[in-house]
C-alpha cells in the first residue's frame, strides 16, 4: 500500500489555502492542505507495525514548534506550482530528516522545501497571472505544530489519515 507523512496546519491556514486550491489545484479533492514530510512510499502489511513504532518514537522525541508563513513562492521554472512558503525552522527540518533515517527509507527525490501547495499544473499564462497577483499580496500566518499524520492512498487516489502521532504523547 502507498503511504505518506504530512502535517496538516490549522483550520485558518487550510481555509486560506483552499480558497486558492479550489480553483488552481487539481488535487484539491484528494487531500487537504498540508506540508509533506515524507513523499509517497510503499510499505508491506507485515512492515507496518514496526514503522508505526518508529513513528511513535520520533513523535515522542519531538517538541511542539511554531511555523510561519509570510509569502507565496513557486517551483518555476521546474513546475508551475505555487505555494505558501513555510519558513524552514530547525525543528521542522530536523523532523523531516528523522523521517528519512533508520527503518524509514530515504525516498527523497529532491531537497525538502517546506510548503503548502495552493496551485499546480497551471498553464504558463494562468501561472504567470496567478503568481504575479499573489506575490504582491501579504500573507502572515503563525501556527503551532504538535503532531504529524501517517496517510495512506485509496484506490481513487485520495489520501486519508491512517494514524496521528502527537509530539511527546505516544505510547510505544
* Catalytic residue, candidates 27, 34, 42, 110: 34
Query: Is 115 one of the annotated active-site residues of the chain?
Result: yes
Does 34 participate in catalysis according to the annotation? yes
Give the separation between CA 119 and CA 83, rounded to whole angstroms.
Answer: 7
CB 160 within 8 A of CB 12: no
Please state, as a whole number, how many other Cβ atoms lie within 10 Å of the Cβ of residue 76: 14
Query: What secondary structure does DSSP assign to 118-169, as a single string?
Result: EE-S--HHHHHHHHHHHTTS---EEEEE-EEEEEEE-TTS-EEEEEEEETT-
**Of 89, 109, 112, 78, nearest to 6 (Cα)?**
112
User: Alpha-carbon distance 12 to 45, whole Å?
Assistant: 35
Please list, in sequence order, all residues whose beta carbon lies within 8 angstroms of the beta carbon of residue 4, skipping any fewer than 6 positions away: 36, 38, 39, 40, 41, 150, 151, 152, 153, 159
Mind telling me the catalytic residues? 34, 115
Amino acid at each position: 500500500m502507498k503511504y505518506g507523512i504530512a502535517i496538516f496546519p490549522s483550520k485558518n491556514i487550510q481555509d486560506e489555502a483552499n480558497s486558492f486550491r479550489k480553483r488552481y489545484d487539481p488535487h484539491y479533492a484528494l487531500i487537504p492542505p498540508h506540508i509533506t514530510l515524507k513523499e509517497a512510499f510503499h510499505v508491506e502489511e507485515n512492515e507496518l507495525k514496526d514503522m508505526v513504532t518508529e513513528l511513535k518514537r520520533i513523535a515522542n522525541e519531538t517538541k511542539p514548534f511554531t511555523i510561519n508563513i509570510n509569502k507565496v513562492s513557486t517551483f518555476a521554472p521546474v513546475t508551475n506550482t505555487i505555494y505558501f512558503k513555510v519558513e524552514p525552522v530547525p525543528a521542522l527540518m530536523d523532523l523531516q530528516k528523522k523521517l528519512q533515517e533508520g527503518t524509514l527509507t530515504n525516498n527523497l527525490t529532491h531537497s525538502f522545501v517546506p510548503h503548502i501547495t495552493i496551485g499546480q499544473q497551471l498553464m504558463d499564462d494562468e501561472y504567470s497571472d496567478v503568481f504575479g497577483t499573489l506575490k504582491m499580496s501579504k500573507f502572515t500566518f503563525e501556527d503551532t505544530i504538535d503532531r504529524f499524520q501517517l496517510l495512506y492512498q485509496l484506490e481513487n487516489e485520495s489520501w486519508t489519515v491512517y494514524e496521528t502521532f502527537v509530539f511527546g504523547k505516544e505510547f510505544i
